[in-house]
Amino acid sequence: MTMAPPSGGPAGPGEPAGPGEPGGLGAAGARRGAQGPRIVALGDSISAGVGDATGGDAPHGAGWAAHLAHLAGASQFVNLARNGARAQHVVTEQLPHALDLLPDVATLVIGGNDVLRSDFSAYDVARDLSTAVTALRDCGCSVVLARLPAIGLFELMPTRVRRVMRARVAAVNATVDAVALAARPRTVEQVAAARRGRDGQRPRQGAVVVVDIQAAARDLGHTAWHSDRVHPSAAAHRRLAALAAITLGRAGVLDIPGVRPAVVVPPGRTQASPPGPDTLAALVASLPSAPPPAPVRARLAWLIVAGIPWCVRRGRDFAPGLLRALADDVRGRSPDASPSLTATVETEPRTPRAA
């Protein structure tokens, strides 16, 4: 997903980020304590930080992954995500660099640009996501995956268009859930192995946790989304980071203030309740303040200057696929006739295809 203005005012969508900007490497070497985890962000414009804005008090820059690094006291944060990246680009372009960094934690959001293309295939997204997660876990890195939100821009369109786009997003989210389920430890010993990095050793295989972007933004009302109704707002970026920190703390991957690792117990037994809203609010409050939403006039100006041209450019590629998907919807066919996603993610990762 690439269409979004920054909080401070209008800007063209999909522009490559430079050093020090969301998606760039200017803040890659920021340090906050030599003992903190090394964190890397992979994915598209959501992870690159589009929709967020920060001042000089943000040690790792903008975006939910950067805020997660702040909450985790990261010793290093590198943001490899870029605007417009699709699932295959993560595997072929970003993953090799991420593996060279030997990260302790990686955030990974993909699929948002895939659902906006004529050649969308949930099968391909599943394969690429599984390839990336497997490679990261095999080097002892824990992975944070994110479920995509509904694309608000399409929620304003006719019913059939909404249904097609919701089905595509649901297919990507089913892939995310399947990958996480396949990686879930089955025994107490496997959980202990994944947590061994907390004692100074790298775990044999990293954990996989999932956060939900829609859930993170749920309580923010009209301030949850940016002007483009595609990317999270600055406030939502911070809530997503706090949810990710809590989830990693519960998984025993990171030490997060106010969060205790979940206790592994026999089936049928209860365990300690997860942290409540006070913990979430405290973590958000500890982050650099979110700027106020852009005024209505600035949003309208951005829509005219950048938003409408973006829709025209994207429509040249997207419209044919959308028309085919609408025809399939009329005939009652699935939006993606690929094999079982669960079966896909449990097979051996394939050789990455060319970008």
For position 79, what pLDDT does the model report?
A: 96
Q: Determine the pLDDT at residue 6.
A: 41
pLDDT, residue 150, reads 79
pLDDT at 22: 35
Tens of pLDDT, residue by residue, the chain (355 residues): 554 444 433 333 333 333 333 333 333 333 334 589 999 999 999 999 888 877 666 678 888 999 999 999 999 999 999 998 999 999 999 999 999 999 999 999 999 899 888 889 999 999 999 999 999 999 999 999 999 987 766 666 666 777 888 889 999 999 999 999 998 765 555 555 555 555 556 666 889 999 999 888 787 777 676 666 677 788 889 999 999 999 999 998 998 988 888 765 544 444 445 566 788 889 988 888 877 766 667 766 766 676 666 666 665 666 555 555 555 555 565 555 444 444 455 544 444 454 4
pTM for this predicted structure: 0.75
Angle between helix 277-285 and 234-250 (nearest 10) = 120
Residues 6+ apart with CB under 8 A from 3: 13, 14, 153, 228, 230, 231, 306, 307, 310, 311, 314
pLDDT of residue 117: 86
Q: Is 288 helix (H, G, I), strand (E, B) or coil?
A: coil
Give the model's pLDDT for residue 278: 80
CATH topology classification for 38-267+274-345: Rossmann fold (3.40.50)
Q: Supply the pLDDT for residue 74.
A: 94
**Domain regions of the chain by residue span:** 38-267+274-345
Give CA separation, 167 vs 235, 288, 325, in Å: 27, 36, 10
